[in-house]
């Protein structure tokens, strides 16, 4: 059986955060049980064809599932062929996590938690629509530690409305005091269809300036580095050997299977997407039909571009020998001119068979990456 990765999508949230454009919904709890039953069927039907190195339950808010449904789902996943050194992550949000749920996760082999915090300042949490306070986060975090979870990621955001540089520095300080194994720091992007988009259009969002946002990011990289967190991707930092292996699968275009509404798979050069509609998903699975709504046969050029974009986001960059193995050609046969141009501008570095963004290149990453788009 092929060793790949598995993503499971849980589309429920207690409340929609104001910046969120993920396929997640509040007020649909009545569908939870039917959804999990359908999801278990899809897992039994589709996921039993492979064995797994990593499993990631994301969403939405997987920890929002009630105990019975959580146990049912984890039990189904445990029937699969899971490798001995499995990385098994579950996304959790404070305000939806209990000792009982953590106990179920522990019993069924979840060995990595990804906790959504975003900021340690309660007024900011409220303004961005989070359902929890920093105190609730800390109590969930301590509980998880007491119960033996020794691989925890904490999600943060910067560039938030009414967030000062000082606020973000405090957030990083308070998080690193807790000593998680992994920290991710994403800048706020105002996405269409979100509450923030509407407020932004009406000029009602007080966002930090570009300079302040740059200062936040630069501080973040330096500060976390000093605290022993290695930056291994533009937005991800970890203690030694605690990088998220599941994320690396996405960034290196390795195979993964997605189950659940809105989930995507990358299998045999095809990108496959399930329907976002929860009811449609349940109906399709229950009538033994496919929930897939999109199957794209990726052309080699698409895969090469994506490999470059995702690879350049990684601190270690692109491994030229992996490129050659994957695409059966030298990187230079396609990108020699572009690479040399950006090396001369001081934005790219090429050494020991790898190509990566310099410090300045990370700041101007969008400018560099657009040159890796191929004429098709
Ligand atoms: S908890 Fe996560 S998935 Fe749910 S609305 Fe907030 S950001 Fe989106």
Give me the domain span that covers residue 62: 3-250
CA of 22 to the centre of ligand 1 (A): 7
Residues near 87 by Cβ (< 8 Å), separated by ≥ 6? Answer: 53, 54, 55, 111, 112, 244, 245, 246
Same domain, 342 and 196: no
Distance in angstroms between the alpha carbons of the first and the last residue of the chain: 36
CA of 18 to the centre of ligand 1 (A): 9
In this predicted structure, what is the pLDDT of residue 247?
Answer: 95
Kindly report the protein residue whose alpha carbon is nearest to atom 2 of ligand 1.
60
Is residue 278 situated within a structural domain? no
Contact 55, 231 (CB under 8 A): no
CA of 148 to the centre of ligand 1 (A): 26
3-class SS of residue 205? coil
Distance CA 93, CA 113 (A): 10
Torsion, Cα 74 78 79 83, to 10 degrees, reads 150
Same domain, 189 and 105: yes
**For the sheet containing 354-357, what is the strand order?**
318-319, 354-357, 348-351
Same domain, 323 and 231: no
Distance CA 296, CA 273 (A): 9
Same domain, 123 and 207: yes
Same domain, 205 and 333: no
Q: Is the peptide bond before 147 cis (omega within 30 degrees of 0)?
A: no
Is residue 45 situated within a structural domain? yes
> Does residue 16's CB lie within 6 angstroms of at least one atom of ligand 1?
yes
In this predicted structure, what is the pLDDT of residue 250?
Answer: 94
3-class SS of residue 155? strand
> Does residue 275's CB lie within 6 angstroms of at least one atom of ligand 1?
no
Contact 9, 262 (CB under 8 A): yes
Q: Per the structure block, which two tokens stand in for 293?
A: 């709504």
CA of 325 to the centre of ligand 1 (A): 38
CA of 304 to the centre of ligand 1 (A): 31
Same domain, 241 and 323: no
Would you give the DSSP letter of residue 373? P
Ligand 1 atom index nearest CA of 16: 5
Ligand 1 atom index nearest CA of 13: 4
User: Half-sphere exposure of residue 2, counting CA atoms within 13 Å on the CB side?
Assistant: 11
Is residue 273 situated within a structural domain? no
Kindly report the protein residue whose alpha carbon is nearest to atom 5 of ligand 1.
16
Residues in the chain, overall count:
376
Query: Could you say which residues of the chain have pLDDT below 70?
Result: 376
Parallel, antiparallel or unpaired: strands 152-158 and 182-187:
parallel
pLDDT digits over 324-355, tens only?
999 999 999 999 999 999 999 999 999 999 99
Distance CA 330, CA 346 (A): 22
CA of 322 to the centre of ligand 1 (A): 35
Distance CA 48, CA 43 (A): 7
Among candidate residues 283, 260, 271, 270, the one with its CA nearest the CA of residue 46: 260
Q: Where is the domain boundary, 225, 250, 275?
A: 250
Ligand 1 atom index nearest CA of 93: 1
Is residue 158 situated within a structural domain? yes
In this predicted structure, what is the pLDDT of residue 375?
Answer: 77
Same domain, 244 and 346: no
In this predicted structure, what is the pLDDT of residue 246?
Answer: 98
Same domain, 163 and 29: yes
> Does residue 58's CB lie within 6 angstroms of at least one atom of ligand 1?
no
pLDDT digits over 52-99, tens only?
999 999 999 999 999 999 999 999 999 999 999 999 999 999 989 999
Question: Of 59, 125, 136, which is best to mutate to test ligand 1, by the most ligand atoms within 8 angstroms of its C-beta?
Answer: 59
Q: Where is the domain boundary, 250, 266, 286?
A: 250
Is residue 292 situated within a structural domain? no
> Does residue 24's CB lie within 6 angstroms of at least one atom of ligand 1?
yes
Domains of the chain: total: 2
Question: Of 17, 184, 188, which is best to mutate to test ligand 1, by the most ligand atoms within 8 angstroms of its C-beta?
Answer: 17
In this predicted structure, what is the pLDDT of residue 212?
Answer: 97
Distance CA 239, CA 358 (A): 21
Same domain, 223 and 327: no
> Does residue 22's CB lie within 6 angstroms of at least one atom of ligand 1?
yes
> Residue 316 region, left (φ>0) first, then alpha (ψ -120 to 50), else beta?
alpha
Question: Of 60, 124, 263, which is best to mutate to test ligand 1, by the most ligand atoms within 8 angstroms of its C-beta?
Answer: 60
CA of 344 to the centre of ligand 1 (A): 42
Same domain, 243 and 104: yes
**What Cα–Cα distance (Å) separates residue 181 from each residue in 149, 154, 287, 324?**
11, 8, 43, 33
Q: Where is the domain boundary, 226, 250, 274?
A: 250
In this predicted structure, what is the pLDDT of residue 240?
Answer: 96
CATH number at residue 63: 3.80.30.20
Is residue 56 situated within a structural domain? yes
Is residue 255 situated within a structural domain? no
In this predicted structure, what is the pLDDT of residue 376?
Answer: 65
> Does residue 95's CB lie within 6 angstroms of at least one atom of ligand 1?
no
Same domain, 189 and 50: yes
3-class SS of residue 115? strand
| Dihedral sign computed on CA atoms, order 215, 217, 218, 224 | positive
Same domain, 246 and 322: no
In this predicted structure, what is the pLDDT of residue 2?
Answer: 81
Is residue 352 situated within a structural domain? yes
> Does residue 93's CB lie within 6 angstroms of at least one atom of ligand 1?
yes
Distance CA 224, CA 182 (A): 10
> Does residue 11's CB lie within 6 angstroms of at least one atom of ligand 1?
no
């Amino acid at each position: 059986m092929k060793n790949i990765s598995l993503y499971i999508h849980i589309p429920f949230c207690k409340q929609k955060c104001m910046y969120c454009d993920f396929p997640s919904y509040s007020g649909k709890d009545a569908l939870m049980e039917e959804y999990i039953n359908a999801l278990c069927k899809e897992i039994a039907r589709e996921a039993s064809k492979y064995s797994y190195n990593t499993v990631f339950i994301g969403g939405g808010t997987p920890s929002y599932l009630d105990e019975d449904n959580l146990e049912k789902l984890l039990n189904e996943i445990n029937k699969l062929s899971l490798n001995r050194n499995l990385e098994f992550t579950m996304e959790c949000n404070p305000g939806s996590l209990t000792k009982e749920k953590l106990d179920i996760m522990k019993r069924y082999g979840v060995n990595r938690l990804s906790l959504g915090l975003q900021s340690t300042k309660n007024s900011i949490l409220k303004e961005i629509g989070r359902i929890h306070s920093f105190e609730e986060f800390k109590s969930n975090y301590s509980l998880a530690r007491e119960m033996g979870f020794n691989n925890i990621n904490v999600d943060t955001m910067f560039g938030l409305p009414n967030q000062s540089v000082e606020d973000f520095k405090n957030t990083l300080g308070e998080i690193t005091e807790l000593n998680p194994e992994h920290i991710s720091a994403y800048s706020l992007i105002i996405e269409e269809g979100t509450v923030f988009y509407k407020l932004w259009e009406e000029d009602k969002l007080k966002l930090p300036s570009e300079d302040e946002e740059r200062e936040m990011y630069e501080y973040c990289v330096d500060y976390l580095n000093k605290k022993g967190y290695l930056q291994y991707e533009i937005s991800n930092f970890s203690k030694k050997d605690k990088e998220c292996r599941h994320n690396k699968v996405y960034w290196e275009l390795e195979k993964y299977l997605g189950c659940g509404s809105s989930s995507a798979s990358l299998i045999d050069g095809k990108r496959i997407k399930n329907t976002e509609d929860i009811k449609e998903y349940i109906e399709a699975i229950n009538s033994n039909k496919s929930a897939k709504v999109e199957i794209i046969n990726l052309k080699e050029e698409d895969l090469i571009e994506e490999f470059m974009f995702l690879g350049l986001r990684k601190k270690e960059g692109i491994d030229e020998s992996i490129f050659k193995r994957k695409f059966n050609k030298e990187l230079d046969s396609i990108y020699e001119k572009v690479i040399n141009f950006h090396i001369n501008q001081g934005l790219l570095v090429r050494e020991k068979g790898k190509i990566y963004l310099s410090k300045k290149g990370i700041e101007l990453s969008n400018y560099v990456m657009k040159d890796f788009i191929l004429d098709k």
